[in-house]
Structure 1
Amino acid sequence: MGCGISSSTKDSKSEIALRAALIIQNWYRSYSARLKARQRYALTIFQSIEYADEQGQLQLSNFFSFLLENYTHINQNDPEFVTRLYGRTIQDIKDRHDFVGLIEVPDSYNGPRLQFPVTDNDIDLLLEAFKQQQILHAYYVLEVLFETRKALKQMPNFTRTKTSPSKEITICGDLHGKLDDLFLIFYKNGLPSGSNPYVFNGDFVDRGKNSIEILMILFVAFLVYPNDMHLNRGNHEDFMMNLRYGFTKEILHKYKIHGKKILQVLEDVYTWLPIGTIIDNEILVIHGGISESTDLNLLNRVERHKMKSVLMPPVMLDEDLVDLTINKMGTTTVGYGIRTNGCLSEQLTKREWEQVVDILWSDPRGKRGCFPNTSRGGGCYFGPDITSKILNKFQLKLLVRSHECKPEGYEICHDGKVITVFSASNYYEEGSNRGAYIRVSSGTTPRFFQYQVTKTTCARPLYQRVRIMESSAIRILKERMISRKTDLVYAFQLQDRNKSGKLSMSQWAFSMENVLGLNLPWRSLSSHLVQTDMNGNIDYMSSFQDLHIIKPVKEAHSTLVEILYRYRSDLQIIYNVIDSDHSGLVSIEEFRSMWKLFNSHYSVHIEDSQVDELAERMDLNKDGSIDFNEFLKAFYVVHKLDKSKSESSTI
């Protein structure tokens, strides 16, 4: 007789093992789904706040128009304000020698030395230098900018290129100053050349720390291969966007002596960037998107260099203001262009301006039709029917655009007729998203290549990466909440009829969305933001218990502090424009008049006496001037929980 195990016992053990495996598998799937949901919520927070900020930035255009109509009448001793705001032109830098000729490169400079005309060797020099974190000397930066401007002026609004089965073209989306992503693209895909052409689809700058390095690499490659290196303008190739999103600050930090010259020339270079690329007469590559009224024939004729900034829409000045400008400046100003000798400047028509804005700012959506882009505040949302209509009208087959961060680096929508490609990995936070690029050639299906620059993230498991990203998202959301504390408390108290200090989940979520204007999954996020009792009711004041705004003037009213914190980016841009001599100082009188106009236009309810009192307190040395930028930098949010965590970790 044998002593083997019976078949029934074997079947029983196999069944137990199978059931255990299924339980583990289901648990893992559930766990992974929860992590993915948390990751998705975090990305939604990042994107919602990003778009809300862009909306605020675009709304500045209305304020600048309002400002133009009112400011000079209040401050008739400063007519040059109109020039600074709407007359930003390259008129006074036509003489290249004035910008470059007086700059010497010292013998002690050990960075890359470019030779003009540039060659492949100069591309290699830049790549190696920037990998070593060297700074290109201002002399070479300005030379590259002037050469690029000269070459771009010869380009049409839409550049056209052809591919073949043996010659694919690579399309890259937003880089946003992330130099490591560009290095990785070139490592995986090869450097630009006559046999390896590229389209870089805008938003080269802002947010990241290496925007100028990316520009220099792309511009030098364009100068070497003007027919195989295509550079489209994005919505961040805009001097007003750069003031808010970091590129201006980067330039002034890296080029303390010649930074203002670089910015002035760069501002004009932006305007000469083409607004799109057409591949094989079939693929339209533009940064943002289209609208139901997009007219490529009109866009081909637009004098694109007149689009100084999306924030500077066409505007006519009233006769008094024009007369004032002529009498005191010797020039006539209209819209946002200036010509000397009293000749009215030309500008884009309202229709032309709107067409360009749609190209730079629009986003696709699944809903049919074309409707205002309420998230960003500019451009439109366009549905699959609009895509089909515009592509068919101009005998095109595919629209490739960028402009939106996607978790996987790309996304296909509108029945395969629209592709979004985004090339900045880790855009919001380490591990938040992949980057991607596309390779296309005639008669073949587009091929997608994904990547993610990994430093610390590669050693961390997924749950740690999600936790870090989630914490960062919640942090910026709480900062948005504290900036609207007064409004939120008022909204909560309207709902709290029993004065219990508590609201139902639906009441709290309604108030949050109504005040903050962010379409977020508030119920799912509530556990991170507020305390809930046993009955599921929310202690709404717990929304603010772990953070507060530091105020540089202790006597300032809390409502005023919130408003200054909320609008600090807008105010910083406005005062940078007013500060004509770049001294960093504005007079108390300028502060008062500007704030009162801001107060009026934005319907901010702050008493003039509070503003006057604040102005006096801001003038620390009583010299009649205020270092307003430094004042605004003093506003920041203290996260008490972060502080307690850091203290406990050191014990």
Structure 2
Amino acid sequence: MLWNDNHYEEKTNNPTDEDIHTRVEQLRQQANAAVGAKKYTQACELYTQAIQLAPCAILYANRALARTKMEEYGYAYMDACKSIEWDPKYPKGYYRRAVANFALGKYKAALEDFKKVLQLVPHDADAMAKKKECERRIREQAFAKAIDSDAVKPLSLFETMDYHSIVVEDSYQGPRWEQEENISESFCYELIEYLRNQGKLHKKYLIKLLVYAKRYFDQLDNIVTYQVKESGITVCGDTHGQFYDLLNIFQLNGYPSCDNPYLFNGDFVDRGSFSVEVIVTLLTFVCYDPLCMLLNRGNHESKNMNKIYGFEGEVKAKYNETIYSLFAELFESLPLGHLLIGNEKGMRKQVLVIHGGLFSRDGVLLEDLQRLDRHREPDQGLMAELLWSDPQKEWGWGISKRGIGVSFGPDVTRRFLDANQIALLVRSHEMKEKGYEVEAENRLITVFSAPNYCDQMGNLGAYIRFSSTLEPQFYTFAQVAHPNIPPMAYASSGLGSMGLV
């Protein structure tokens, strides 16, 4: 950035209380060091202590950056607004707010703030680039809205796609799927090894895979009922394109089969730079045996998230725009949850597995979720809350730290589960230090399966083994090595990372 930060002394240097100023300065430097060490939760706590002593534009803007790093865009937005209130001429306040709005897909609001930055700091190259990116996104949204109107409803790409005519070159060294029946077991293992060695499934077989998978998903309910067998089931959380950690799960827990089924609870893609390999592997097992691989949709199985966090860019780099469009359409066919059915002492027991969380009101029943139109972007209503919400320790409801969905308390969890005769809610959506967390009087579990998230968070990954009685057993694991391609290698340039002060 080109601007200078000279507002701190003006706002916090009170000559009558030098001790407070000294303490705030210490806290600010400690918080900045925590951001540098990627300890963002600690940084937020330190900035909060400083703000309680002497609030100012810089402290709020710095905390907004830390919260952006934790994907808490709702909180980052509020901090940026506070920064602007304290100093309407502080460019980084507008910049932080623009980045938060951009991450939430609110491109028009982001554009206005990037324009404000350029008024305060003319010719800043970073702000100019992000302004242009916002303008491009706004044009894309307008075009998409135009072609999605009732008058001009486009055909599904799946209805017009003919993979039969695509020629597979003799030079292709990967596994081949020429027959019309389901994928064989040997194909699954050959493909995994081919992908492990950074091979790329031929586009003919990838398109065929997407066609077969979508045909299957379109038959399913929004909330799929699954009877857990004697052998049990493994539930995994976010994998976020960490393909080599996905393979490690299979190494530790066994490959998917009819006697070793898996449920992956959304956010297969984005951030990690091997998202194509993750989703191709999961879909391959679906097409081998759909009862050995169950998938739920996450908030990152959506166009806006894919555009920002890398999956769209990765698919276009490894294949082309048409194949990305097929993925985007396929994601809209994914079910929103699974209701696991087991028996404990002869009594029916139910566990609901969904990606995000619960709702902004009581009284929501499974029947209401079954009636939702899931073939769309999850940007409003019950579907957005199901994919975006997070639990909180306090009772009742709170503002979403993400800017979408809500925060819901243990009492909200209890009332929803009791109303639907469900014993336990399992969700993902949040990184946890040990890979999982149990809360809400042991009736809510968060599971997260991307260890050392984005190669920087230092967390463990976890998965849950459920027995036929639906008793959970937790397993944790650390990150394994992967090829030297960093996370976010294909991500949008619209998320800035401005320096701290």
SS of residue matched to 1:100: coil
Deviation at 1:104, TM superposition (A): 1.6
SS of residue matched to 1:423: coil
Equivalence for 2:373: 303
Q: Structure 2 residue aligned with 1:569, among 491, 494, 497? A: 494
Equivalence for 1:211: 275
Question: Deviation digits for residues 251-296 of structure 1, max 9, x if unmatched?
Answer: 11112xxx11111111110111000001115100000000234332
Q: Structure 2 residue aligned with 1:266, among 313, 327, 346? A: 327
Q: Structure 2 residue aligned with 1:443, among 466, 469, 483? A: 469
Q: Cα 1:37–1:247, aligned 2, differ >3 Å: closer, same or farther?
A: closer
Q: Distance in 2 between matches of 1:197 and 1:128?
A: 20
Question: Deviation digits for residues 510-558 of structure 1, max 9, x if unmatched?
Answer: xxxxxxxxxxxxxxxxxxxxxxxxxxxxxxxxxxxxxxxxxxxxxxxxx
Q: Distance in 2 between matches of 1:91 and 1:407?
A: 45
The question of 1:93 aligning with 2:157 is answered: yes
SS of residue matched to 2:71: helix
Deviation at 1:568, TM superposition (A): 5.6
Q: Distance in 1 between matches of 2:154 and 2:187?
A: 27
Equivalence for 2:339: 278
Q: Percent identity?
A: 33
SS of residue matched to 1:282: strand
Q: Cα 1:81–1:249, aligned 2, differ >3 Å: closer, same or farther?
A: closer
* Structure 1 residue identity aligned to 2:352: L
Asked whether the 8 Å contact 2:435–2:462 carries over to 1, the reply is yes
Q: Distance in 2 between matches of 1:424 and 1:182?
A: 8
Equivalence for 1:317: none
* Structure 2 residue identity aligned to 1:274: P
Deviation at 1:196, TM superposition (A): 0.7
Q: Structure 2 residue aligned with 1:191, among 243, 255, 260? A: 255
The question of 1:402 aligning with 2:428 is answered: yes
Deviation at 1:114, TM superposition (A): 2.5
Asked whether the 8 Å contact 1:424–1:434 carries over to 2, the reply is yes
Equivalence for 2:21: none
Asked whether the 8 Å contact 1:58–1:377 carries over to 2, the reply is no
Equivalence for 2:79: none
SS of residue matched to 1:82: helix
Equivalences for 1:394-543 in 2 at 5 Å? 394-430=420-456, 432-443=458-469, 445-455=471-481
TM-score (norm 1): 0.53
Q: Distance in 2 between matches of 1:58 and 1:304?
A: 22
Deviation at 1:85, TM superposition (A): 7.2
SS of residue matched to 2:272: coil
Asked whether the 8 Å contact 2:40–2:70 carries over to 1, the reply is no
Equivalences for 1:17-416 in 2 at 5 Å? 41-43=39-41, 48-53=68-73, 56-57=101-102, 59-61=104-106, 63=108, 82-83=145-146, 91-96=155-160, 98-115=161-178, 116=180, 117-164=182-229, 166-255=230-319, 259-280=320-341, 281-291=349-359, 292-293=361-362, 294-305=364-375, 307=376, 309-311=377-379, 353-373=380-400, 375-416=401-442
Q: Distance in 2 between matches of 1:287 and 1:391?
A: 16
Deviation at 1:301, TM superposition (A): 1.5
* Structure 2 residue identity aligned to 1:60: G
* Structure 1 residue identity aligned to 2:312: T
Asked whether the 8 Å contact 1:159–1:230 carries over to 2, the reply is no
Deviation at 1:430, TM superposition (A): 4.5
* Structure 2 residue identity aligned to 1:162: Q
Asked whether the 8 Å contact 1:422–1:435 carries over to 2, the reply is yes
Q: Distance in 1 between matches of 2:143 and 2:438?
A: 49
SS of residue matched to 1:91: coil
* Structure 2 residue identity aligned to 1:301: R
Asked whether the 8 Å contact 2:389–2:404 carries over to 1, the reply is yes
Q: Cα 1:86–1:429, aligned 2, differ >3 Å: closer, same or farther?
A: farther
Asked whether the 8 Å contact 1:57–1:241 carries over to 2, the reply is no
Question: Deviation digits for residues 586-615 of structure 1, max 9, x if unmatched?
Answer: xxxxxxxxxxxxxxxxxxxxxxxxxxxxxx
TM-score (norm 2): 0.68
Deviation at 1:445, TM superposition (A): 2.9
Equivalence for 2:12: none
Q: Distance in 2 between matches of 1:95 and 1:371?
A: 43
SS of residue matched to 1:569: coil
Question: Deviation digits for residues 140-162 of structure 1, max 9, x if unmatched?
Answer: 11111111111111111111112
Q: Distance in 2 between matches of 1:275 and 1:298?
A: 12
Q: Distance in 2 between matches of 1:214 and 1:79?
A: 32
Deviation at 1:37, TM superposition (A): 12
Asked whether the 8 Å contact 2:39–2:457 carries over to 1, the reply is no
Asked whether the 8 Å contact 1:295–1:355 carries over to 2, the reply is no
Question: Deviation digits for residues 204-235 of structure 1, max 9, x if unmatched?
Answer: 00001111111111111112221232100000
Q: Distance in 1 between matches of 2:255 and 2:162?
A: 31
SS of residue matched to 2:394: coil
Equivalence for 1:528: none
* Structure 1 residue identity aligned to 2:101: G
Question: Deviation digits for residues 304-357 of structure 1, max 9, x if unmatched?
Answer: 11x2x234xxxxxxxxxxxxxxxxxxxxxxxxxxxxxxxxxxxxxxxxx41001
Asked whether the 8 Å contact 1:190–1:196 carries over to 2, the reply is yes
* Structure 2 residue identity aligned to 1:448: F
Q: Distance in 2 between matches of 1:63 and 1:637?
A: 21
Structure 1: stretches of 5+ with no match in the other structure: 1-34, 312-352, 457-471, 473-566, 571-634, 640-651
Q: Cα 1:90–1:395, aligned 2, differ >3 Å: closer, same or farther?
A: farther
Deviation at 1:174, TM superposition (A): 0.1
SS of residue matched to 1:304: coil
* Structure 2 residue identity aligned to 1:421: V
Structure 2: stretches of 5+ with no match in the other structure: 1-32, 44-65, 75-99, 113-134, 342-348
Asked whether the 8 Å contact 2:448–2:461 carries over to 1, the reply is yes
SS of residue matched to 2:474: strand
Asked whether the 8 Å contact 1:244–1:569 carries over to 2, the reply is yes
Deviation at 1:248, TM superposition (A): 0.8
Equivalence for 1:553: none
Q: Distance in 1 between matches of 2:421 and 2:396?
A: 20
SS of residue matched to 1:262: helix
Q: Distance in 1 between matches of 2:330 and 2:314?
A: 18
Q: Distance in 2 between matches of 1:638 and 1:37?
A: 10
Higher helix share: 1
